[in-house]
Structure 1
Amino acid sequence: MSAAAPLTPQLADEVSEVFQLPPGQAEFMPLTHNPRNGVTGGVWRVTAGGRSAVLKVLTRAKDTTETWAASEDPRHWNFWRREAHVYEEGVARAWQPWGITAPDLLASVERPDGDVALWLEDVRDGEPATAWPVARHARHAERLGAAHGRALADGVVLDRPWLSRRFLRDYTSGQTVGRELLDDDTAWQQPLVRDHFPEGLRERMVRLHHEREWFLRTMESLPRVFSHLDQWPANLVSHHGESVLLDWAFAGDGALGEDIGNYIPDTVFDLFLPAARLPELATAVYEAYVRGLRAGGWQGDERLVRLGVCASAVKYDWLTALMLSRASDERQLDYGGGRTVEAERRYRERGVVLAFLADWADEARRLADDLGFPR
């Protein structure tokens, strides 16, 4: 849709309902999202009558790769209608008592073509987490820990028939691009890889790949908590003193520590924070999450939390192979594909993070041995 577009009859009815205006024109500005994901028909900021809202279209009919195909299975990690259920049934507000919320749902419209149009509160006046200082990331982690801690202490397991199960296993199993290159000497000698990946990274990430099944079993045996499963700075803003989480498409069952095990590396993978500050971020976020767990009432063995964070390194097993496959690309694009990224910087920064995750994997092995987890 163009910035200023005449409305189709369907859109005109939706705009009229959301903005309480007679049919007319509205401005549609495309927003950054994963264009490959088969469940996302598009995301726009819509302005009409001096007000704005966000429109997100959920679909199962989008032509995309097998990796990102929409699913009709309500437990599948990419179930096409999950985000609508999350908003419609108030699950996105589950953590609001601890300062983590979601945009208001203004309307959920079942379209004649089978798509669902989610009309959401526009929180663009909030401070995006992509620009947060480390202390603000830690504050969010503490809130998340408090929510998880209370649920664990009370023995409450939030579940719905459409929340995801086995997310980590099924998501990583589908990410296969470049996997055959992990044992390819030529791939590891490409200039971007050879010059910017730390020494010894190949052996460590290949080992993580070969031990993938053990890491997944370990994560699946940890205490369970309701999780967002896509927490990273691009999905988070600070708004009226609360953390506002966006994009609940993967939400469901997760391991204790899994959400922040995703959040920490993703903050650097997509260049929101320099890799040199990764240890500082990781320490601050982890310690804050544990403080939150304790404040929420959980009194379990902290080694289980640390194991959940460290073993979640397996989520990025596929990224090493993907980086090998793209090392010859002349253009490196950012998330959403809207801008180019300096290739040397991307490979240098991501190489540092992958080495950090290899350290996490080593720590997870030691913790599992100490805790008596089977190998």
Structure 2
Amino acid sequence: MWRPDPAWQQLAPPRSSTAGVFLVPGERPWVVKRLVRPGEDDAAAHDPAHWTYWRREVEVAREEAFRETPGLCAPPVEVHEDDAGATLVSPWVPDDELSGEERAWALGRFAACAVPAAAWWSRPSLPDRLRSLEHGGGWHGLETTPLAGVAEVLWRRRDELGETFVSLPLVLSHGDAIGANLRARVPGGVRAIDWSAVGLQPLGADLGIVLLSVRDPLGPLLTAYRAGLDPSTSSGRRGGAAYAERDVVHGAAIMAAYTLLTRLAHALGGPDEDAAIHEALRFADMLEAVVEF
């Protein structure tokens, strides 16, 4: 049975198909991520197009194109597979504390890339996430928060806004564009980690996720993202200039709104409840704008 070395530092705890992420200290530190093969009854984890597909990072590691994609690129990764799963070993990527606009520009440039789609690319994840929430009874406890009204409207309109979201142009997306995953400056963009959800997402989806991770308002981030989409700055483009600003705004805001309120629902009743409510209130104007879509 695979076990981490006691000298390794845990960076992330076990969750889903991951047994943990660990830092191997030294003059040239390394990161070890252990993936666990799910049981055959977990159909989603074995579906190459589902956002929880357990082998996606193995596929990314073997796809040389992602080492040099404009905007975002992946670090080199060694893969060691066995019957129980796979171990990924990669160099530690330092955090250059990039600005929100740097991250947004890199995401836009990545979205404009032309990389041949693969069967293991993820499909839009928001519909799957909302269906999972429905099975669990929806957002629990939000009716007791200052965001109760807007949350009720957005939950009631989830199918309608979800259809708007998936009708937007699909672009190449990192899939988990939180600030901690967009780390180091490299020529032409950013070195990113955690490629477990890469694939095709509606235009602006990555921008919505990074919006929740930074202090910048949407306006400057939108400008930077659209600059990345511009074909004059993006090699291997898909025609970024053709993307309408309205579509980017709708994709970013819908993704951000449903992600934010889902995070808040999970935090209620826990030690981070007050902080989560305070953070959600920071985006109250954006949530109200989505209600008006």
Listed as ranges, the matches of 1:1-375 within 5 Å are: 27-32=7-12, 35=14, 37-47=15-25, 50-61=27-38, 71-93=45-67, 95=69, 97-98=70-71, 100-105=72-77, 107-111=78-82, 113-124=83-94, 126-127=95-96, 129=97, 132=98, 136-149=99-112, 151=113, 156=114, 158-175=116-133, 179=138, 181=140, 188-189=143-144, 193=145, 197=146, 201-240=147-186, 242-265=189-212, 267=213, 277=215, 280-294=216-230, 295=232, 296=234, 297-300=239-242, 301-312=244-255, 313-323=257-267, 326-327=268-269, 329=270, 331-332=271-272, 343-353=273-283, 355-362=284-291, 365=293
Deviant stretches of 4+, over 6 Å: none
- Which string of whole-angstrom CA distances, capped at 9 and with x for unpartnered residues, describes residues 38-75 of structure 1? 11111111136x4321100111348xxx9x99711111
CA distance in 1, matches of 2:19, 2:63: 22
Displacement of 1:239: 4.2
CA distance in 1, matches of 2:186, 2:250: 34
Indicate conservation of the 8 Å contact 1:26/1:47, yes or no. Answer: no
- Which string of whole-angstrom CA distances, capped at 9 and with x for unpartnered residues, describes residues 214-234 of structure 1? 111111111111111110112
Displacement of 1:157: 6.0
CA distance in 2, matches of 1:94, 1:159: 16
Residue 261 and residue 93 in structure 1: after superposition, are their counterparts in 2 closer, same or farther (change >3 A)?
same
Question: How high is the sequence identity, in percent, across the aligned residues?
Answer: 27
Q: Which runs of 5+ in 2 are unaligned?
A: none
Residue 362 and residue 58 in structure 1: after superposition, are their counterparts in 2 closer, same or farther (change >3 A)?
same
CA distance in 1, matches of 2:105, 2:139: 40
User: Which deviates the most, 139-148 or 217-226?
Assistant: 139-148
Residue 262 and residue 237 in structure 1: after superposition, are their counterparts in 2 closer, same or farther (change >3 A)?
same
User: Which deviates the most, 159-168 or 77-86?
Assistant: 159-168
Indicate conservation of the 8 Å contact 1:45/1:54, yes or no. Answer: yes
CA distance in 1, matches of 2:229, 2:274: 39
Indicate conservation of the 8 Å contact 2:49/2:120, yes or no. Answer: yes
Displacement of 1:238: 1.8
Indicate conservation of the 8 Å contact 1:179/1:322, yes or no. Answer: no
CA distance in 2, matches of 1:360, 1:245: 31
TM-score (norm 1): 0.67
Residue 344 and residue 321 in structure 1: after superposition, are their counterparts in 2 closer, same or farther (change >3 A)?
closer
Displacement of 1:91: 4.7
- Which string of whole-angstrom CA distances, capped at 9 and with x for unpartnered residues, describes residues 186-218 of structure 1? x744xxx3xxx3xxx312111111111111111
Residue type at the aligned position of 2:49: R
User: Which deviates the most, 165-174 or 312-321?
Assistant: 312-321
Indicate conservation of the 8 Å contact 2:12/2:20, yes or no. Answer: no
Residue 70 and residue 165 in structure 1: after superposition, are their counterparts in 2 closer, same or farther (change >3 A)?
closer
TM-score (norm 2): 0.83
- Which string of whole-angstrom CA distances, capped at 9 and with x for unpartnered residues, describes residues 274-299 of structure 1? xxx4xx43221111111221233523
CA distance in 1, matches of 2:262, 2:103: 27
- Which string of whole-angstrom CA distances, capped at 9 and with x for unpartnered residues, describes residues 241-265 of structure 1? 6511111111111011111011102
Larger Rg: 1
Residue type at the aligned position of 2:103: H
Residue 372 (structure 1) aligns with: none
Q: Which runs of 5+ in 1 are unaligned?
A: 1-7, 13-24, 268-272, 333-342, 366-375
Residue 188 and residue 172 in structure 1: after superposition, are their counterparts in 2 closer, same or farther (change >3 A)?
closer
**Structure (1 or 2) with the greater helix fraction:** 1
